[in-house]
Each structure stands twice: as structure tokens, then as C-alpha cells.
């Protein structure tokens, strides 16, 4: 478990700078695993909840692990009894049979729960009793996200790393912006360039990047040089 020590003012600033006013959907995504996307998305979700007049929604695209919900529980935050996670009858998850035909899925599987007494809601997905021949798929449809904007001021999507799943790529075009999470980990440069190119090819708007796992020495050094240059 890691604890961040940073602010994400820049992300809000970038969202605020977008032309059309209104509710915002933003996705955090990285090229490789371990960059800290989930942690950043959770922090950002909480910050959004503070700023939101109505509510903030934290969407976990990692259906099998439900790490967002679990981490709130693990950190001792009470998560309320979950309700049906579909918004206006739309879901971002669909079940597909082996032959490619959509399969019916029980309504109870996609759930939504309030985090403590915050105006933050987090999704989780119940995989219990799922048939073996049914495959879960993230929908490319826009209706869920339209509904989310109607109900929440901020929708924060925690997408799995591209190296694990391409789920985020389908959702990205429906977002107001995508935040790339990068770090100094080996090989991250080429992978992130690839991710950015892929996102832009699909019409997603890349807001900018968050540099995770930053070294304090490096940060101070950079700040010093930037001040000198200014």
C-alpha cells in the first residue's frame, strides 16, 4: 500500500480550462502496471467529492479485482450498502457469449456504493456465479457516461494499464480528458508514447500527465532549475 503526497491541482485546472462548462468525466490510465493509477484515481475522486456540489463517481474498470472499493474498506472507511449500479438503466459492462452474442446479465452484478459520508460513490462488480463461457466486456457505448454526467459533477475512471487490458481505450473517447500516469520505470517512455498515440487515434483528448513515483531529490532539482530559468 502506498500513500501519495501530492496535489492534483493541475488536473482540475486542465478540466476547468475545457471550453464547455458542466460535469466532467476524466480517466486515469497508464501504459504499464504499477504506475499507481488506482491510487491517483482514488485520491482524485476524493478531491472531486470535496469540490462537487452533487456527487462524484469513481468508476473501477477492473471488474475482477474491485480494488477501489476494497481499498476504502481496507483503510477503514465505511462503505454503505450497495445499490444497483446501472445509471438510467445503462451499464458500462456487458456479458458476451463465446459465439459473440451478447448474453443477459443479472442487474445485481454492477453495484454502486457511497464511501463513508463523502459525496463520493464507487462502483464494484460482483463476479460470483458468473458462467464460465461468458466473457465480460467494457462497452464502447456512450449512454452510461451520459447518465453519469447527469448525476455527478465529476466522474473519475480508473482504467487498467494498457499492458493488462485494452478496456480503457474504448471508454476514453467518451471522456472529457485522459490523464496519462507515467513514471521513471524502465521502458516507460516508449510504452507511454504508444499509449498516447493509440488514445489520440481513437479520438480521446489527452489532458496531460501525472508523474508518479517521483523522487524527492529529482523534484527539488527540477524545481531549482525551473526557478533559475524563470
Binding site for other proteins (CB under 8 A): 1-11, 13-14, 36, 39-40, 179-180, 182-190, 192-193, 196, 206-219, 221-222, 225-226
Closer Cβ to other proteins, 41 or 61, answer by number:
41
- Alpha carbon distance 91, 60 (integer Å): 12
Give one word for 181, left, alpha or beta, with left for phi > 0 and alpha for psi -120 to 50. beta
Closer Cβ to other proteins, 26 or 93, answer by number:
26
Q: Least separation, in Å, of the C-beta of 135 and other proteins?
A: 33
Q: Is 161 exposed, middle or buried (0-12, 13-18, 19+ CB in 10 A)?
A: buried
Backbone angles phi, psi at 43, to 5 degrees: -60, -45
Q: Least separation, in Å, of the C-beta of 194 and other proteins?
A: 9
Q: Least separation, in Å, of the C-beta of 190 and other proteins?
A: 5
Q: 122 - beta bridge partners?
A: 58, 113
Cell of 97: 457469449
- Alpha carbon distance 113, 181 (integer Å): 26
Q: Least separation, in Å, of the C-beta of 224 and other proteins?
A: 9
Q: Least separation, in Å, of the C-beta of 9 and other proteins?
A: 7
Closer Cβ to other proteins, 112 or 156, answer by number:
156
Q: Least separation, in Å, of the C-beta of 7 and other proteins?
A: 7
Element (H, E) at 27: strand 24-29
Please choose, from the candidates 155, 189, 152, the residue with its C-alpha nearest in 3D space to the C-alpha of residue 172: 155
Q: Across the beta sheet with 93-97, what order do the strands follow? A: 102-103, 93-97, 134-138
Please choose, from the candidates 176, 224, 191, 130, the residue with its C-alpha nearest in 3D space to the C-alpha of residue 23: 176
Amino acid at each position: 500500500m502506498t500513500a501519495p503526497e501530492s496535489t492534483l491541482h493541475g488536473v482540475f485546472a486542465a478540466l476547468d480550462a475545457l471550453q464547455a462548462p458542466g460535469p466532467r468525466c476524466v480517466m486515469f490510465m497508464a501504459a504499464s502496471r504499477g504506475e499507481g493509477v488506482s491510487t491517483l484515481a482514488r485520491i482524485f475522486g476524493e478531491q472531486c467529492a470535496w469540490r462537487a456540489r452533487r456527487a462524484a463517481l469513481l468508476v473501477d474498470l477492473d471488474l475482477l479485482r474491485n480494488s477501489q472499493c476494497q481499498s476504502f474498506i481496507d483503510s477503514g472507511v465505511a462503505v454503505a450498502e450497495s445499490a444497483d449500479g446501472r445509471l438510467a438503466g445503462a451499464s458500462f459492462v456487458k456479458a458476451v457469449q463465446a459465439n459473440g452474442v451478447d448474453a443477459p446479465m443479472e442487474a445485481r452484478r454492477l453495484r454502486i456504493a457511497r464511501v463513508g459520508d463523502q459525496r463520493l460513490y464507487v462502483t464494484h462488480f460482483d463476479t460470483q456465479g458468473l458462467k464460465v463461457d461468458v466473457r465480460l466486456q467494457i462497452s464502447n457505448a456512450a449512454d452510461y457516461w451520459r447518465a453519469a454526467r447527469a448525476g455527478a459533477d465529476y466522474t473519475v475512471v480508473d482504467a487498467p494499464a494498457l499492458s493488462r487490458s485494452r478496456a480503457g481505450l474504448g471508454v476514453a473517447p467518451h471522456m472529457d480528458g485522459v490523464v496519462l500516469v507515467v513514471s521513471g520505470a524502465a521502458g516507460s517512455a516508449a510504452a507511454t508514447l504508444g499509449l498516447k498515440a493509440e488514445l489520440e487515434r481513437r479520438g480521446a483528448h489527452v489532458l496531460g500527465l501525472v508523474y508518479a513515483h517521483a523522487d524527492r531529490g529529482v523534484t527539488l532539482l527540477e524545481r531549482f532549475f525551473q526557478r533559475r530559468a524563470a
